[in-house]
Chains A and B, each alone.
Chain A
Amino acid sequence: MTQEKSLRVHDMGGRNGLGPVVMDADEAPFHADWEARMWGINEAMTGAPGWTLDWWRHVRELIPAEDYLTRPYFDQWMQVYAAMMVDDGWASIGEIARGKAVRPAPQVSPPMPASDVLAASRRTTDFRRDTDRQPAFKVGAYVKTIRIGGIAHTRLPAYAMERAGVVHAYRGNHIVPDEMARGREMAEPLYTIAFSRADLWPEAAGSRDRIFVDLWERYLEPR
């Protein structure tokens, strides 16, 4: 068997041993005040220049497994911000624990005022980039995914590693998360790959269901 893959706690797809899905009783957006505050902090706070979307995800993925599996969702967001602030030298753990600054604050421009929130909420981010890169695979091509191990950030889920799939669509050249998590912006072809459920799971033989996963060209090989 392949070593390393599927060991990372956040990489949940296909993990066995989990019970029934617990449905929400209502469609309320927040279920506690602190959840709403954490969401709002995430939206309104001034971050350090190096905090990319995928660095944020990577920092969450590195939360110790016991915390990742047991701490409430928005509490994990709190821990992500705390860890990023400590990493950047913006605060010490003691300052965060006490909610009180000891040393001078980082020198940044004033934070988002309430009057900017509506306009900010309507801004979209385009992750495509114009590059000369031509897609190496055509729609309908048979491909195989590679294996990626270790703790570095990637968006290739373990269940889809070293599996055969078919190129369902080419989506343009998108920023590569594996690089963005290291503060480097570069773009390459992104595809939606269709996997037969039967090819992913031993017990699903004969199933005609399919799993579609968006994957960057570096995750793919011809077959």
Chain B
Amino acid sequence: MTSYDAKKIIDIHQHLHSDLPSDPALRVKALESLLVEQGLVDPKAIDAWIDLYAEEIGPKRGARVVARAWTDPAYKERLLADGTAAITEFGYQGHATGHVLAVENSDRVHNVVVCTLCSCYPFALLGMSPGWYKSAEYRARIVREPRAVLREFGVDLPENTEIRVWDSTSELRYLVLPQRPAGTEGLDEAALAALVTRNSMIGTDILKARM
């Protein structure tokens, strides 16, 4: 039975700290061996999950959603009204996308997303999260000094642009809808999607004009 007892868990963690091998690769290998022996995991299913998130599910999905929103005003309206329904039109629903909220950048507003308490991220839409997103530095600083952090990413915003930081403390998952870069009027949806970076959909990148 699960104890839900924090003090018991703290005690277990202390023992794990001293009794487990220190190399993470060895620790994970031992865990997998045990789980396979216990019949709790099928290693082929692990392979399948890895393949899926290495090949299929990644930021290209979000990029297609963004490009569609840029080129199809009715789709953009649906995306802003109900993000989960709008990504389901592409078949992109899945992990951590039950409550997707798209937030739109403009000349006056720049949005950026964080999870200060852990690492919440819309996996089925953007794939695995980047290391920096999970780092203590980003989680600590983006809610306090967003302009300084964004400058580290090469994003320098005018003082009169309002920065909105969205802290993912619930099961809502935020997708930043970046501004369509200038000079892309002639491009079709696929060409536009190729311009959209992962970081621009988290809010730590601004897509450059194409001349």
* Chain A interfacial positions (CB closer than 8 Å to B): 10-16, 18-24, 27, 29-34, 36-41, 43-46, 48-51, 55, 57-64, 67, 69, 71-75, 78-79, 81-84, 86-91, 93-101, 105-106, 108, 110-114, 116-118, 121-128, 151-152, 155-157, 159-160, 171, 174-175, 177, 181-183, 190, 192, 197, 200-201, 204, 208-216
Contact = CB atoms under 8 A, between A and B. Distances in A.
A30 to B, nearest CB: 7
B30 interface: yes
Interface in B7-54: 8-10, 12-17, 19-21, 24-25, 27-35, 37-42, 44-50, 52-54
Contacts of A98: 30, 34
B33 A213 contact: no
Given A82-B12, A106-B40, 10 more contacts: A33-B25, A37-B46, A78-B28, A79-B20, A94-B19, A113-B45, A197-B163, A208-B162, A212-B166, A214-B169
A67 B172 CA distance: 28
Interface of B: 1-6, 8-10, 12-17, 19-21, 24-25, 27-35, 37-42, 44-50, 52-54, 57-59, 84, 91, 93-95, 97-99, 114, 116-119, 124, 127-128, 130-132, 134-141, 143-144, 146-147, 149, 152-153, 162-172, 198
Contact of A21 (B44, B149, B165): B149
